[in-house]
């Protein structure tokens, strides 16, 4: 199976992977930015890491030795079938060509373009279904389905226990794409408002976000920026009453551990496809001028789609979700 994006996209592939793993050994081809999520997914037997020049951002240079090395590695896997999982704006055909060269006899994917002999099963695109359902549809078209008792929700392997006793609320201010992030000032004010409402607040972030998390946590929140692995972050999220987060990987990680999400969702990509696949409250103007642009930097001065959301809106959403578990 292949899902060549970052952590959130790999987590959304989880149900499709479990479907295939119910009857087959799953080797997952993913990018380095998605590998830490892949390591948490039930059903993944082996991970091959490769940064894809037509999907990764920023894209690596296309080099013949890299491509030839990947083809040789895939040939050694001796796969019976390949499932290429893509989003609506991505083509599976370049990877399908490499898989053909590696000798994979059966390849299944969604494609809006004529695939010729590159695909054995081609699904027509359905851009308005959620990403997890979209991926699961590819697995089903290949003859794989979820085993009895599996409801198709996002899931990860049991994470380590949180070092902080609940109750608390997590605020995750960062995002992999700047256009999807709430402003630091709004995040900091929300931490203060949540504390004033009686919540303990934990602020999380990656190693490159420590300055941001320290600012957002201020004097009242507990700053965990850069202090957790992805697996440890899963444990922190699992024990939270709710997680306040933008459209980024930890939103899907929270859902995978059963925690409800206050989703600060910028409409640069459609919420119908990428909103949390579990209990959530969606905040943000989904009809703003940036809707559907797939912009990485906000194209509208003042970032109005998100910055019109107030700390009071978030506090009310958290109150609505406390006690709700997937």
φ, ψ for residue 202, nearest 5 deg: -110, 130
Q: In this predicted structure, what is the pLDDT of residue 326?
A: 59
Q: In this predicted structure, what is the pLDDT of residue 176?
A: 86
Asked if 85 and 138 count as a contact pair (C-beta separation under 8 A), the reply is yes
The answer as to CATH 3.30.300.20 being correct for domain 7-141 is no
Q: In this predicted structure, what is the pLDDT of residue 324?
A: 75
Percentage of the chain exceeding pLDDT 70: 99
Asked if 250 and 243 count as a contact pair (C-beta separation under 8 A), the reply is yes
Spans in the chain with pLDDT lower than 70: 325-326
Question: Helix or strand or coil: residue 229?
Answer: coil
Which class does domain 169-321 fall in? alpha beta
Indicate the average pLDDT of the chain: 95
Q: In this predicted structure, what is the pLDDT of residue 81?
A: 98
* pTM given for the model: 0.95
Q: Give per-residue pLDDT as tens, 106-119.
A: 999 999 999 999 99
Six token digits for residue 204: 């999380």
Say what the alpha-carbon torsion angle 94, 95, 97, 99 is, to the nearest 10 degrees.
180
The ranges assigned to domains in the chain are: 7-141, 169-321
Q: In this predicted structure, what is the pLDDT of residue 1?
A: 98
Q: Where would I find the beta strands (DSSP E) of the chain?
A: 26-30, 44-49, 82-84, 107-110, 121-123, 169-172, 201-203, 222-223, 242-246, 261-264, 280-283
Asked if 282 and 70 count as a contact pair (C-beta separation under 8 A), the reply is no
CA angle centred on 70, ends 249 and 154, rounded to 5°: 25
Q: Do domains 7-141 and 169-321 have the same CATH topology?
A: yes
Distance CA(274)–CA(243), nearest Å, equals 16
Q: In this predicted structure, what is the pLDDT of residue 4?
A: 97
Say what the alpha-carbon torsion angle 293, 277, 120, 84 is, to the nearest 10 degrees.
70
* Whole-number Cα distances in Å, 14 to 9, 51, 79, 128, 270: 9, 20, 19, 19, 20
Q: How far is CA 32 from the centre of its chain?
A: 14
Distance CA(205)–CA(210), nearest Å, equals 7
Asked if 26 and 20 count as a contact pair (C-beta separation under 8 A), the reply is yes
Query: Cβ of 59: how many Cβ atoms within 10 Å?
Result: 11
């Amino acid at each position: 199976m292949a899902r060549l994006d970052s952590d959130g996209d790999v987590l959304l592939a989880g149900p499709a992977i479990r479907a295939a793993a119910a009857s087959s050994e799953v080797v997952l081809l993913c990018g380095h930015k998605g590998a830490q999520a892949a390591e948490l997914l039930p059903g993944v037997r082996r991970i091959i890491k490769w940064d894809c020049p037509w999907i990764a951002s920023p894209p690596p240079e296309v080099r013949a030795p890299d491509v030839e090395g990947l083809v040789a590695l895939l040939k050694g896997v001796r796969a019976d079938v390949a499932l290429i999982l893509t989003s609506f704006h991505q083509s599976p055909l370049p990877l399908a060509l490499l898989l053909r060269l590696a000798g994979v006899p059966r390849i299944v994917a969604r494609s809006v373009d004529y695939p010729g002999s590159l695909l054995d099963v081609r699904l027509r695109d359905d851009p308005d279904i959620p990403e997890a359902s979209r991926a699961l549809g590819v697995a089903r078209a290949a003859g794989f389905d979820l085993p009895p008792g599996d409801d198709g929700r996002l899931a990860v392997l049991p994470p380590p226990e949180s070092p902080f006793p609940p109750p608390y609320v997590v605020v995750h201010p960062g995002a992999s794409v700047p256009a999807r992030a709430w402003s630091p000032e709004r995040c900091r004010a929300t931490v203060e408002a949540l504390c004033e409402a009686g919540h303990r607040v934990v602020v999380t972030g990656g190693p490159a976000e420590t300055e941001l998390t320290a600012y957002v946590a201020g004097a009242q929140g507990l700053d965990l920026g850069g202090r957790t692995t992805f697996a440890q972050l899963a444990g922190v999220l699992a024990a939270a009453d709710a997680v306040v987060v933008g459209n980024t990987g930890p939103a899907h990680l929270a859902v995978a551990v059963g925690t409800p999400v206050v989703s600060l969702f910028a409409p640069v990509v459609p919420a119908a496809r990428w909103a949390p696949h579990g209990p959530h409250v969606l905040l943000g103007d989904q009809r703003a001028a940036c809707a559907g642009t797939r912009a990485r930097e906000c194209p509208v001065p003042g970032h109005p789609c998100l910055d019109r959301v107030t700390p009071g809106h978030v506090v009310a959403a958290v109150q609505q979700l406390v006690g709700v578990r997937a």
